[in-house]
Structure 1
Amino acid sequence: MKKLSIADIAKHLHVSKTTVSFILNGRAQEKRIGREVVERVQKFVDEVGYKPNPLAKSLRTGKSNTIGLMVEDISNPFFASIARLIEDRAYKNGYKIIYCSTDNDTAKTRDLISMFRDRHVDGYIIAPPEGIEDDISSLVKAGMPVVLFDRHLPNVSTDFIEIDNLFSTYNATRHLIQQGYKKIAYITFANNQTHMLARLEGYHRALGESGYESFVKEIDFNQNDDLITAPIAAFLKKNKNLDAVFFGTNHVGACGLKAITELGIKVPTDLAVISFDDYDVFKLFSPPITAIAQPIEAIADSVITVLLNRLNTSSQHISSQSIILKTDLNIRRSSKTE
């Protein structure tokens, strides 16, 4: 059955398209349209179950009441938790969220931004991959509200919310050193983005202050966890003199624990373990894993607050905000010597 349009309704009721549009948009009284005409249109609309085309409406009003949310991987517990909180708060403020995973892939992200533009989303929340600077700058220049989170793009002037990555890894590495560990490895994804570089710097800084050697293993991201676990296992087998390992993300950490289990390494007797991004797997592992916990609720709240402020004011003249939040180091048995 062909979907009815405003033109179809107008033709059937012998009234103008403009009159139907005003009635459906709640402007009948403002335009002084007679009660009889209003009732006739509303009765017909109810009978046929007419639903307005949201895209057509967004073209007329300039607002779609949707927000595009782009994260690295929506199945990752960190991003999933933040997305859920953002969605709840957005919905309470009259906005729906369309979210998707970029896989940290530049070309895919460009396609997704293009899709969101076609859908006339009102604002963007993005955990950006590398190489996307021009696309985001284009959105900002077009007057679109864009909030970055988890990492930022140094050459793009827009709002961003992230954590103090450098201090977080510095503090966690210092904890291992204070526990007496000296040969501490850092295993992470190969990545030149702001958050990952800052984490690596924090690790190097803590070891440098104590005069200890760095052991860094960078792994290419892959959708197949086996292709992350295998190089971690090979690195641990090759470096049997290590007494502690620090995983740079929860994804690397989960794969790292799998490698440790497969190799029969005892934690913390053979190897102390810390990971970034605390979540349930780390609490349930035996022994529970020491982890850096990001303030999920504060991140989500800051992101949506900043974006809603942009959406609700003509704020192009307002300077960009940079919000840096603190983390917690949840110390558990995987990193204690006693």
Structure 2
Amino acid sequence: MKKKRPSLKDIAEVLQVSTTTVSFVLNGKGEEKKISKQLIARVENYLKEINYKPNLVARSLRTGSSRVIVFMVEDISNYFFSKIGRIIEDIAYTNDYRVLFCSTENDTKRAQDLIQLFQERQVDGFIIVPPTGIETEIQNLIENDIPVVLFDRKIDTLDVDSVTLNNYEGATQITEHLIEEGYNNIAFITIDLDLIQMDDRRKGYLFAMEENNLKPNILEIPYEMANADKCNVAISQFLSDNPQIDSIFFATNYLAQNGLKTMSRLDDKLIKALGLACFDDNIFFEMYSPSITTFAQPIEQMGAQLMKIMLGHLEDKEKIKTKKAHILEGKLIKRESSLRRETIKL
């Protein structure tokens, strides 16, 4: 038979104190409520002795705080988002918060449903990589004094904190680097998705090509095909149709991974014959032969910045009124894949 969970009243009777006293100690408000250190220690020791675990749902209803933050991203299995998630989780844990992770797959309805679900569960804050079409839901959170920080992309129509990257400058740097290395038929493979960071990467590529009087060549792959066999087919057909291509700039690391897989299947010399670079680093890119040039996002700094903003709002909702767009700087990591062709041994 399952042992009955002791109530606050049961604990108070054993200790011969009021249920209010037990509640204050349990919620870390003992000293604030002028309870003696000796009594606080006696309550805490008994709670440890019986291995008492508070009912988090009941506590959230009572205190209005669940000590839970939601991290809502495009795809939590993506290397970039999972690395950020781990940093957020570690910082949250040291501040007595827990993190719930979820993926939207860039689906508006799914994101709307998740926001409603977690709002009903009284989570304390949201860190969101927003798909298009959820402005109303985010505005509703803001109006209900629930802290929100947007990540990876911002929404200009909303007064909300955001942490993003210098996507335009990063894409420009990659393209200019390839041009400096002697490539002049540079293809850009990206996702056909109406997102501000993808648009900025495209614009950065186009700017650098135009500045150098080079003709752009772009392949847009629908998001639903990005991690499927159809993506490999699209890249294969694109390479076949454009034999003049001497280099490729991939807009995301997962597109680069698909592209590398496709090229190795078509001709194992292609990876060394073409200049290659991509946006977003990945631990595996250092292990390729040749190693892959990337524009790396400052993952540690991003995670720390997101939590600095979130914890600031949670600790004092009245103090931080001004919302700010934080744009961080990435770093171009030059590796073997973008070397001048004459220096690459085929």
Whether these two folds match at TM > 0.5 is yes
* One-letter code aligned to 1:172: I
Mapping for residues 74-89 of structure 1, pairs under 5 Å: 74-89=76-91
**Structure 2 CA distance for partners of 1:3 and 1:259, relative to 1, 3 Å:** same
Residues 336 and 83 (structure 1 numbering): CA distance in 2 closer, same or farther, change over 3 Å? same
1:64 to 54, 63, 66: 66
Once the two structures are superposed, residues 23-44 of structure 1 have per-residue CA deviations (whole angstroms, 9 ceiling, x without a partner) of: 64466784879x99x97x8898
The Cα shift of 1:48 comes to 5.8
CA RMSD of aligned residues (A): 2.7
Q: Is 1:268–1:336's contact at 8 Å kept on the other side of the alignment?
A: no
Aligned residues: 336
Name 1:126's counterpart in structure 2: 128
- Are residues 1:323 and 2:326 paired? yes
Q: 1:7 to 1:244 in 2, by over 3 A?
A: same
Q: 1:208 aligns with which of 201, 207, 210?
A: 210
Change over 3 Å in CA distance of 1:303–1:26 after alignment to 2:
closer
Taking structure 1 as the reference length, what is the TM-score of the superposition? 0.89
Distance 1:225 1:43, change over 3 A: same
Q: Tell me, yes or no, if structure 1 residue 249 matches structure 2 residue 252.
A: yes
Residue 76 of structure 1 aligns to which amino acid in structure 2?
N
**Segment of structure 1 superposing worse, 328-337 or 263-272:** 263-272
Which of 215, 218, 221 is equivalent to 2:220?
A: 218
8 Å contact from structure 1 (residues 183, 243) kept in 2: yes
Which of 14-23 and 239-248 deviates more? 14-23
Instruction: Specify the SS of the correspondent of 2:223.
Output: coil
Shift of 1:65: 1.4
**Contact map agreement 1:128 1:151 (CA 8 A) in 2:** yes
Contact 2:260/2:271 (8 A) holds in 1: no
- Equivalents in 1 of 2:146, 2:318: separation in Å? 10
Equivalent-residue separation in structure 1 for 2:66 and 2:30 (angstroms)? 22
Aligned twin of 1:160: 162
Q: 1:50/1:227 Cα in 2 relative to 1: closer, same or farther (>3 Å)?
A: same
TM, length-normalised to structure 2: 0.87
Name the aligned partner's letter for residue 216 of structure 1.
I
Answer with 294-303 or 218-227: which moved more. Answer: 218-227
Unmatched tracts of structure 2, length 5 or more: none
265-274 or 128-137, which moves further after superposition?
265-274
Identity of paired residues, percent?
41
Partner of 2:178: 176
Indicate the SS of the match to 2:172: helix
Tell me by how many angstroms 1:182 deviates: 1.3
Aligned to 2:276: 273
State the AA in 2 paired with 1:131.
Answer: G
How far the C-alpha of 1:93 sits from its partner, in A, is 1.6
Q: Which residue of 1 aligns with 2:101?
A: 99
Structure 1 residues 156 and 49, CA gap change in structure 2 (3 angstroms) = same
Structure 2 SS opposite 1:79: helix
Q: Distance in 1 between matches of 2:185 and 2:300?
A: 35
Cα pair 1:7 1:17 within 8 Å, conserved = yes
Cα distance, 1:163 vs structure 2: 0.9
Distance 2:241 2:258 in 1: 17
Q: CA deviation at 1:5?
A: 4.0
Where do residues 243-322 of structure 1 align in structure 2 (5 Å cutoff)? 243-264=246-267, 266-267=269-270, 269-315=272-318, 318-322=321-325
